[in-house]
Amino acid sequence: MKPDISPGEAIGIFLRGLLMGGSDIIPGVSGGTMAFITGIYGRLINAIAAVRPQTGIRLLRGDIEGFKQDFKTIDPVFLTILLAGIGTAALLMSRAILHILEAYPGEAFGLFLGIIVASSVLIAFQIESAKSHAFLFVIAGLCVGYLIGGLPTGSFGHSLPMIFITGMIALCAMILPGISGAYLTLVLGQYEYLLQAIRNVSILEIITFIAGGVIGILLFSRALRYLLDHYTAALLAFLTGIMLGSTRTLLDRINEAGGYTPGVILACIAGVILIGMVEYLRQQKKERIIHRSV
């Protein structure tokens, strides 16, 4: 069992949750990166990894003691406080983002475009292999992303099964380097709809989305970890291609909002700068960790 959390630690975890939640709701910004910068990434990943289907099976079988032992290993107090911060930020930010999308749609999508392009470049830099197969995976990802990005907005609908699938995809993205779950919801045409669901506290949609994410993590986290450990270059190359190809969605939304005005161009530049600042902080944190371990 994890040690008790003091009131001061609880406040710190909640504030980190606020930062993660505010980041997670902006397409292209990774809450996982914020968790790393603020020093809780390792603890968060360990807590997520401890969530296993067997825990729920124990409860269904009436094995209360076994369930309690399993439950303690997932760092429940830490996760509860962190999720409270994330949820609070999501509720507050959803209202702000929806207002910006309604009042300044071109600038908003321009900001997202700058963020996504800059994030894609950073992911590409993480590809350590210069072999031709990495380039082929970039091309494959571009094709997949371009096809998905060309689908009309709302073509997937907003049914509960679609929201469930979106949750599976978006929340699994948190364990992938630099991938934004919010951006994936945008590509799938669910972004504004889910923001409205959060703003209006639509319990059914929110629970469906979260349930999809939980199931997705339980089913795919180990497979994704395996791919990252054994096929890092190929996976990063494919993700880079998907992110760049799917910017077709953003380009279309910018054109619908009036095209590339000076405000939109400045917003694109601001998105690039934002990701540059986040990456700088991440590298500074990484260097401090390396220095402490020497």
Residues 229-242: tens digit of each pLDDT = 788 788 888 888 88
What pLDDT was estimated at residue 278?
Answer: 82
Q: Once rounded to an integer, what is the mean pLDDT over residues 213-233?
A: 77
What pLDDT was estimated at residue 199?
Answer: 87
Write down the residue that tokens 């880079």 correspond to.
240
Q: What is the pTM of this model?
A: 0.79
The more confident residue out of 184 and 50 is 184
Kindly state whether residue 152 falls inside one of the protein's structural domains: yes
Amino acid letter, residue 43: R
Determine the Cα–Cα distance for residues 127 and 103; give it in Å rounded to an integer. 39
Would the pLDDT of 137 be above 70?
yes
The more confident residue out of 205 and 214 is 205
Would the pLDDT of 129 be above 60?
no
Amino acid letter, residue 208: T
The residue among 193, 120, 117 whose CA lies nearest residue 153 is: 193
pLDDT tens digits along 41-89:
778 877 777 777 676 677 677 777 777 777 777 788 888 899 899 889 8
Is 91 within 8 Å of 206 (Cβ atoms)? no
Burial class (CB in 10 A: 0-12, 13-18, 19+), 116: buried
Would the pLDDT of 189 be above 60?
yes
Mean pLDDT (the chain) is 83
Is 201 within 8 Å of 210 (Cβ atoms)? no
Determine the Cα–Cα distance for residues 50 and 251; give it in Å rounded to an integer. 40
Two tokens at 63? 């094995």
Kindly state whether residue 1 falls inside one of the protein's structural domains: no
Determine the Cα–Cα distance for residues 179 and 168; give it in Å rounded to an integer. 14
Is 87 within 8 Å of 14 (Cβ atoms)? no
Domain region containing 202: 7-293
Is 158 within 8 Å of 190 (Cβ atoms)? yes
What pLDDT was estimated at residue 81?
Answer: 92
Kindly state whether residue 247 falls inside one of the protein's structural domains: yes
What pLDDT was estimated at residue 1?
Answer: 46
Q: Once rounded to an integer, what is the mean pLDDT over residues 167-181?
A: 76
What pLDDT was estimated at residue 175?
Answer: 64
What pLDDT was estimated at residue 216?
Answer: 84
Residues contacting 184, CB < 8 A, separation 6+ = 166, 169, 170, 173
Q: Once rounded to an integer, what is the mean pLDDT over residues 142-168?
A: 87
Coil, strand or helix at 231: coil
Indicate the range of 105-114, 136-145, 284-293 predicted with least confidence.
Answer: 284-293
Is 40 within 8 Å of 82 (Cβ atoms)? yes
Determine the Cα–Cα distance for residues 42 and 48; give it in Å rounded to an integer. 10
Kindly state whether residue 288 falls inside one of the protein's structural domains: yes
Kindly state whether residue 2 falls inside one of the protein's structural domains: no
Would the pLDDT of 24 be above 90?
no
Work out how many domains the chain is built from and give that number: 1
